[in-house]
Chain A
Amino acid sequence: MKILVCISCVPDTTSKIAIDPSTSQISSQGLTYIVGPYDDYALSRAIELKESNGAEVIVLHVGGSESEALIRKCLALGADSAVRIDGNPISSTQIADAIVDYVKQNPVDLILMGKESIDYNSGIVHGLVAGALGYVHFNPVMHLDLAGNDLQLEVEIDGGKMEVSCALPAVLGCQEPIAEWKIPSMRGIMTARTKEISVLPLNPTDSVKLVKASIAETARRNKMIDAADAETLIDLLKTETNVL
């Protein structure tokens, strides 16, 4: 049983996003990177499945060598090995194609990843990968149980939830409360040092061009209403804003 967990490495959720004027793209200056929070849920569940059902967990990341420390952290959490597909992908298609190429050479039973990366918010890589491999696809998965070849899932749908049963192989986009985020143990950190991170090349496949990025800021009115006159809020919402 092989579980592949695909991770994004993204600016910390408290990051202040700025533009690098020389490239007109998002500046990476001063940003701290983390493993995508949703991917972290996926990895945590994979490690739980490894402990309960027995499985080999492989972490895959498409990106540059600056991500190795974060990949090493995934190994410290309990992943067995890692693959980094080296390059600077600029689209969901490029990332998905890289994952698909890898899986075609190195078959796995279950592919988990976050429902979306919190930088580009596309939320489609899992669907693209599932489609290209012909695997079953569910997203966003909130509970995942595995017995032999059979998966029992709870999946969010528009306007509710559904429980589904399906069979491996599958690609799942994950979200809370599928598992709790984990912290690496001292022993985990030690053993991670000797685990393998193999590096493969990225072959960009599409022709999207990033022209420029800009910061989107919404100007707010910042009007304070005295608590004693709180009711006037309702009048202001009607007269000044038209929202009521």
Chain B
Amino acid sequence: MKNVAIIAQTKEGQLNEATNQLLSFVSKFNPEKIILVVLGENHLSSVGCSVPVDVISLSDGLWADTSAVSSLANAVKGYTVFGIKSIQIDNILSLLASCLKAEVVSGVQHLGYSAGVFSIGKSIFSGKAMLEISSSTASIFSLNRNFDFSDVSELPAKAVNSTSVLTYSSESKSAITALKPITGTIPLPDAALVVSAGRGLKDPSNWTIVEDLANALGAATACSKPVSDLNWRPHHEHVGQTGVKVSPNLYIACGISGAIQHLAGVNGSRIIVVINNDPEAPFFKHADYGIVGDVNDILPRLTKKLQSH
């Protein structure tokens, strides 16, 4: 692995924690050169890494077709490319892979490299199983958000070697006609704490007790599929096999029965709390802490307890 490129994730112009960990992780393999590809504006002057990095910023644009991505492909030709799973990063990595005719592995949970061979642990069946893959030819990797960075330590910051900008240009006529960012809430895929509710809440107007608890914790809100199907909550909150997959430190499930399709989206959570008035609810078998009780009673009490601290 002589040359490595990382598609970075940033927060307010700085690398996010996962990208910093990824930089330390790839440093283990002693690369000679590292390119950091940053989407959008940034003010990176130094980053924690074993070798000075070259930063390539991608200007705002769709980056959604080969003609746009080919300039980036030229810049990272021959590099081993890493990114941490997000909608945009997976889209870019797959287009890059086809431009470069490179093999790509997505959903990587752990990764080793020795004597030119990658040993890859890929999580499959929404985290229910793991597949060990070996490949000497794969060169693009999309790592899961809960990738195992356990044995990496942050490296001292080094000044950035060079910075350049790739300006978005595309032969296609694609254009954004409206942007609708979700504002005012914590983004679910990145949230460390999640309060999720299901059909047991009975009515969308009852979500105030869920939101109050989430606010008291500083948590994101989520829901089960029937809840978003009924339009009680927006689709981007739907967690499960056919929705968002989350792996927070804490997942509190309120009035959710624990169907296997729901569990598939949450079994990466570190601690699971289940609150349900049916002691037989299947979710209790997959809980770290369970409370048999009515959400209308329990949730406000938990909120009050948190506020009293």
Contact = CB atoms under 8 A, between A and B. Distances in A.
A122 to B, nearest CB: 4
A225 B235 contact: no
B217 interface: yes
Contact of A130 (B65, B132, B270): B65
B87 A139 contact: yes
A224 B177 contact: no
Given A131-B66, A236-B289, A231 B301 contact: yes
A126 B134 CA distance: 24
Interface string A67-90: 000000000000000000000000
A175 B244 CA distance: 11
Contacts of B285: 220, 222
B166 interface: no
A102 B263 CA distance: 37
A138 B175 CA distance: 12
A125 B69 CA distance: 17
Interface stretch (A44-52, A105-113, A160-168): A160-168
B164 interface: no
Interface string B52-73: 0000000000101111010000
Interface residues of B, number: 90
A220 B287 contact: yes
A42 B289 CA distance: 39
A176 B104 CA distance: 26
Interface string A123-157: 11111111110111111101000000000100011
Nearest to B225: A176
Interface string A158-199: 111111111100000001110000000000000000000000
A166 B179 contact: no
Contact of B287 (A126, A175, A215, A222): A222
Contact of A233 (B69, B130, B193, B289): B289
B242 interface: yes
A163 B176 contact: yes
A157 B88 contact: yes
A224 B285 CA distance: 10
B138 A227 contact: no
A215 B129 contact: yes
Given A160-B182, A165-B174, A166-B174, A243 B290 contact: no
10 contacts: A13-B241, A134-B65, A157-B87, A162-B176, A213-B130, A213-B131, A215-B130, A222-B288, A227-B293, A234-B305
List the 7 shortest-distance A-B pairs measured between CB atoms, nearest first: A127-B94, A131-B98, A227-B293, A160-B181, A166-B174, A124-B94, A163-B178
